[in-house]
Amino acid sequence: MSRTAQFAVNAVTNYGRMLVSIVAVMVLTPYIIAKIGTDDFGLWSLVISALGLLSLLDLGFGTGVVKYVAQCSASGDLDRRNRILSTLAAVYVIITLISAVIIAVLALFFNRWFDIPAAEQQKALPLLWILAVRFVLLALPLSLFRNALFGEQRVYAINILQVVSTIAYAVGSWLVLYLGYGLMALAWVNLGAMLIEYLGYIWYAYARMEGLRLSLQLVDRRLLKESASFSGAQFLINIAALILLKTDPIIVKAFLPLSAVAVYAVALKIAENAYLLPKQFTNLLGPLAAQLKEKAEETKIRFLFVNCTKFAMAPSVILAVAMYVFGKETLVFWVGQDFAPGGPVLMVLLTAMMLGMAELTSSAVLSMTGHHRITAWAAVAEVILNVGLSVVLVQWMGLVGVAVGTLVSGGLIDYFFTIRRTCELHGVSYGSYILRALAPALLPGAAQYAVTLALKHWLPPTGLLSIGALVLPGALLYLLLFWFFSIERSEKDLLVSKLLRRFRPLRVAPGV
C-alpha cells in the first residue's frame, strides 16, 4: 500500500471510529445519568479526571515509541526497533509499580481531599481501584503495543479494535444498568471492554509486525538515554493536554458543589469530542513527519504544517459554530434542564478546542523533527497559565471562568509562541500562515453561523433530531465555501488525481 493510500485508509477509519464513539457517548450519557443520578455521575467524572492525571506517569515514552518505530519503519532497521521496544517495556513495568504505590496513597486520602459527600464515600474507593486498573495499571504497560502499531501506521487496525471495544462497552453498560446494577457494575464493564481492546493490540502486533520480539536481553541503556531526552520533552507536552481535558473538573470541585462537576463534565464531553474528531487527522501527522524527517523531505514537512492545519481546523469549526447556536438547547434536550448552565461553558470550551487544532499540527511537526524542546517549554508555560487563570476566574465567573482559563492560556501560548517558532524553523512567514492556514478554515464559519442562526429563529428546535436537521444546511454551506474558496488549485489537483488513480476502472484488453 502506498504512503498516500495508507494515510487515506487510516484517516477514514479514524473518523469512522470517532463517529462511533460520539454516537455511543450521545446515547449513553443521558441514560447513565438517568440510571445512576447526578451525584454518582459527578463522582464517576471526578475519579476519571483524577486518574487521568496519573497517565502523566507515561512520562512521554508513549510518543517516543511512535516516533522511533516510525523511523525504524522508514529505515527498515528491525533490530533497533526491537531493542527500543524491549527497553521501553522494561521502563513501563517500573512505571506501573510506581503507579500502584501512588494510587494506594490516593485511596487513603481521596474522600478527604475531594470532600466527597457521606452518601458517596462507600462507593468512591472501590470505584477508584477498578478504574485505576483500567486506566493506569493495565493501560500504561499495554499501550506499548498500541503505540508500536501507530508508529508503523497500522492505525486502521487500532481503529477496528477500538470500535469493537466501544460497542462492547455501550452494550454492556446499557445491559447492566437496565438490569438494575449501578456504578460499580458500570466500572467493571468499562474494564472488560478495555481488556478486549488492549489484548487485541498484543495479538495484532505479534501477527503483523515483522520480526517483533521483546526480551530482557534486548534492553539497551544507551537507547533508554536517547529516548528519555525526547520523552522528557513529550512528558511536558502531555501535561498541557491533560490540563486541557482532565483538571478542570477538579478545579470546579475545589470551589463548587459536586453537581457543578456533572454540569461541567457534560459540556466538557461535547467539547472533547469536538476536539478529538479532527485530532484523528492530526494524530496521523506525527509518524508521517518523523518518516519525512528521516528522508529529509523538507517541502513535504512544510505542506504538513501549513496546508494540513487548514484541513484539521475545518471540521472543528463546523462543530463549534453549530454549538454556538444550539449549545444550550443541545444540553437541555440531551441530559435535561438542570444542565442548561453548561451552555456558556460549552461555547468557550469549543472555541478553545477549535483554535487548538493549529497547535496540534504545529506540535506534531516540531516534536517529530527534532524540536521537541520548544513544545515542551510551551507546555510548561501553558500549564502554569491555565491553572492560575482557572483558579482565579472560577471565583469570579463560576463555571465559565474555568473554561475561559483554558481558552486564554492556550490562545496566548499557541499563537504567540509555538506556531511562530514553527514558522521560523520551516521558512514560512507568519502572515502567510494566517492567510493560507487559519483564514481559509475560519472564514466560511461566518456564513455557516448566519444561516444556522436564521434557521433557529425560523424553526425553533424541538429535540436533538431537529437540531441535527437545522445544523445540516449551514454545515453543507461551509463545506461548499471551503471547497471553492479555501482549497488551493494545487490541492484540488492533487486530491482529484489521487482519487482518479485510486478508482480508475480497469482497462479492457483488446479483442475482449
Residue 35 within any structural domain of the chain:
yes
Distances (CA, A) of 79 to 76, 228, 249, 287: 9, 19, 44, 19
Residue 495 within any structural domain of the chain:
no
Same domain, 170 and 255: no
The confidence score (pLDDT) of residue 92 equals: 92
Q: Has this prediction a pTM greater than 0.75?
A: no
Residue 496 within any structural domain of the chain:
no
Q: For the chain, percent helix, then strand, then coil, each to nearest 5?
A: 85, 0, 15
Same domain, 389 and 344: yes
Same domain, 136 and 179: yes
158-161: which pairs have CB atoms within 8 A and are 24 or more residues apart? 158/201, 159/10, 159/13, 159/14, 159/16, 159/17, 160/13, 160/17, 161/196, 161/197, 161/200, 161/201, 161/204
Q: How confident is the model at residue 503 (pLDDT cuts 50, 70, 90)?
A: very low
Query: Which helix (H) or strand (E) element contains residue 330?
Result: helix 298-335
The 10 Å CB-count burial string (b at 16+, else e) for 84-102 is bbbbbbebbeebbeebeee
Judged against a pLDDT cut of 60, whether residue 6 lies above it is answered with: yes
Same domain, 222 and 366: no
Grid cell listed for 288:
508521517
Grid cell listed for 182:
449501578
SS3 string of 59-98? CCHHHHHHHHHHHHHHHCCHHHHHHHHHHHHHHHHHHHHH
The confidence score (pLDDT) of residue 505 equals: 47
Specify the range with the lowest mean pLDDT, choosing from 17-26, 279-288, 388-397, 500-509: 500-509
Residue 81 within any structural domain of the chain:
yes
Same domain, 216 and 251: no
Cα 265 to Cα 249: distance, rounded to the nearest angstrom? 7
Average pLDDT over residues 20-31: 88
Same domain, 380 and 273: yes
Cα 255 to Cα 246: distance, rounded to the nearest angstrom? 16
Query: Which helix (H) or strand (E) element contains residue 231?
Result: helix 221-245
Residue 471 within any structural domain of the chain:
yes
Between the CA atoms of 424, 291, 441 and 439, what dihedral angle is there, to the nearest 10 degrees? 20
pLDDT in tens, 216-225: 999 988 888 8
Same domain, 298 and 163: no
pLDDT in tens, 56-90: 778 778 888 888 888 888 788 899 999 999 999 99
Q: How many domains does the chain have?
A: 2
Residue 239 within any structural domain of the chain:
no
Residue 378 within any structural domain of the chain:
yes
Q: Which domain holds residue 91?
A: 1-232
Residues constituting the chain: 512
Cβ-contact 288, 304 below 8 angstroms: yes
pLDDT in tens, 182-197: 899 999 999 999 999 9
Among 182, 208, 232, the domain-final residue is: 232
pLDDT in tens, 456-477: 999 999 999 999 999 999 999 9
Same domain, 177 and 133: yes
Among 180, 197, 232, the domain-final residue is: 232
The confidence score (pLDDT) of residue 237 equals: 67
Same domain, 154 and 258: no
Residue 498 within any structural domain of the chain:
no
Q: How confident is the model at residue 497 (pLDDT cuts 50, 70, 90)?
A: low
The better pLDDT of the pair 435, 228 is held by 435
Same domain, 201 and 256: no
Same domain, 95 and 202: yes
Same domain, 168 and 198: yes
The better pLDDT of the pair 491, 345 is held by 345
Cβ-contact 230, 67 below 8 angstroms: yes
Give me the percent of the chain exceeding a pLDDT of 70. Answer: 92
